[in-house]
A and B are shown apart, each in its own frame.
Chain A
């Protein structure tokens, strides 16, 4: 009898500990999320209120200090840091200011994360129109990198911004929107924090909805027509993603797709509305770990992903839950290696020719450790000066494991530049928040308005109060 009590007590503490741990680890991480760019920072100042932020900016102006702006710091090209600068940590500036049920909008301070917003709007049966696939990022950060997500109907993130308030280098507060201060708005969206501080943002919302997951697998050559007919032209389809194989056996051939379609019976929505939290990261983390080691590991990672995907076919999920994807399993701690991301955009019509070209580059570099490729859809969008979606495109996100020593960095750089050349040759572009492997020429080709962007920077912030390593690297 005593044994039973002891075991029960132990199990209670055990589950309590796991629960508390999972709550705790959902919080933000403080350190920079890649270790390729060690930079000395003078201080980190946390902005808690508008007045404090204003003071930081005016103080910096007086002392001729340089400011950089940081949210979750998952960008990998030094967009949030500047040597000997003052980093403004926006994470504490994270209040949800207003949920307007009538107008279906939410106004938040820019340090709020997408998860914070979801928690505020989910009880009202509302949902974001567009958010990043992972919900750990801050709103200000996502706007500054002009992020996109899974949604295929509501355009880019910038399309869902009704307006925002913005503090420039003089500490002056301006109202920005697609109609007010348009030029600055287009520079700040995807502006990598070079123009000033995004204070609060009003985002458009839509109704939460119940989706049925539809999964499929196919060859890459069938994918564009599948996407067009079964996804884009199906009014029930709302969100979509796909993966292409990194397993040696089916490398860059086999794909599987996941589409979220409006469910027949919306009455069941209430049963699925509770926001899920990240559980059971050990399983995907384990397979991702295997995948890092060798080809057999990559095979089993891909096969497991496929089996899992087949299994979720027909599952029901609320829109809000579909927009909270797991990311914790990707956390990786190794002193000699790190994991980087790349993202390439290619017009839908070019996809079929592009994949073999990308495959050829990757096969020429067998040591290049590619772990995952996710494919999503981005609609043509020119809200931002630095817009990557020149037409309707597929985006490919590549997760890559690389060493941090000089030789490995150089090797990775070679492959990345070749991949970008292949992408540009297919009228594509690449995503800017990642490590500075691409050349200036590649940036100018991918972003024809690069020159204009840097001119705007000089015009709106002539003293260069706001700076980061991205600017230093890519200024023409």
Chain B
């Protein structure tokens, strides 16, 4: 994978996920109200991720990073469409579990791509550089979304983020087919 493309891709999905993450709390607040439920929702997310990492790690070497990122993009695009429909706490739990799986895919792939690309001697500079752009994208997204939620409904945030994920998935696809 072209490194510049990779930063671009990570920037895009970074935007989409930081669009939803802080505001996702608003949704959980609407659905459930206790701190314990909150804890469980995020705990489940982390737990499933933990369980998935060994498996994902193995697959990453076999099927390649691009395929995994591809699964992540489209998985998130589709999963986000279910968020506006969540009305019970257990809906949120299920979504959190699936988010945990996909989150693990993304976390692992991000690191494997970097690991395969960076030169050991200048790894610090390169990874630092990588974080600059992805963080800038995330910051812009978070601020802009704050205004969006005021104007639109919280549900529309999920739809917009879903479209961004779908678009990132398409970009990956193009990349793949262009090479093949």
The interface of chain A, by Cβ under 8 A from chain B, is 3, 6-7, 10, 13-14, 16-18, 20-21, 24-25, 281-282, 285-286, 289-290, 331, 333-334
Closest approach, in angstroms, between the C-beta of A40 and any C-beta of chain B?
16
| B64 is an interface residue with CB less than 8 A from chain A | no
Given A21-B85, A24-B85, is A10 in contact with B77 using a C-beta cutoff of 8 Å?
yes
Whether B85 and A17, one on each chain, are in contact in the complex, defined by CB atoms closer than 8 angstroms, is: yes
Whether B82 and A17, one on each chain, are in contact in the complex, defined by CB atoms closer than 8 angstroms, is: yes
| Stretch of B36-44, B110-118, B153-161 on the interface side | B153-161
Whether B156 and A282, one on each chain, are in contact in the complex, defined by CB atoms closer than 8 angstroms, is: yes
> When chains A and B are docked, how far (Å) is the Cα of A13 from the Cα of B79?
10
Given contacts A13-B78, A333-B26, A334-B150, 6 further A-B contacts (CB under 8 A): A3-B170, A14-B163, A18-B159, A285-B153, A286-B152, A289-B151
Enumerate chain B residues within 8 angstroms of A21, measured Cβ to Cβ.
84-85, 155
Question: How many residue-residue contacts, CB under 8 A, span A and B?
Answer: 49
| B3 is an interface residue with CB less than 8 A from chain A | no
Enumerate chain A residues within 8 angstroms of B155, measured Cβ to Cβ.
21, 25
Dominant SS among interface residues on chain A: helix
Whether B153 and A14, one on each chain, are in contact in the complex, defined by CB atoms closer than 8 angstroms, is: no
> When chains A and B are docked, how far (Å) is the Cα of A10 from the Cα of B84?
16
| B90 is an interface residue with CB less than 8 A from chain A | no
How many positions in chain B have a CB within 8 Å of any CB in the partner chain? 24
| B93 is an interface residue with CB less than 8 A from chain A | no
> When chains A and B are docked, how far (Å) is the Cα of A467 from the Cα of B177?
71
Whether A10 and B74, one on each chain, are in contact in the complex, defined by CB atoms closer than 8 angstroms, is: yes
> When chains A and B are docked, how far (Å) is the Cα of A331 from the Cα of B173?
40
Residue of A nearest to B150 (CB): A289
Enumerate chain B residues within 8 angstroms of A20, measured Cβ to Cβ.
85
Enumerate chain B residues within 8 angstroms of A286, measured Cβ to Cβ.
151-152
> When chains A and B are docked, how far (Å) is the Cα of A205 from the Cα of B26?
43
Whether A10 and B156, one on each chain, are in contact in the complex, defined by CB atoms closer than 8 angstroms, is: no
Pick the 6 closest A-B CB pairs, nearest first.
A289-B151, A17-B81, A21-B84, A286-B151, A282-B152, A13-B81
Residue of A nearest to B26 (CB): A333
Closest approach, in angstroms, between the C-beta of A291 and any C-beta of chain B?
11
Enumerate chain B residues within 8 angstroms of A25, measured Cβ to Cβ.
155
Instruction: Pick 12 A–B contacts, CB within 8 A, sort by A.
Output: A3-B173, A7-B166, A10-B74, A10-B77, A16-B81, A21-B155, A24-B87, A25-B155, A282-B151, A286-B152, A289-B151, A333-B26
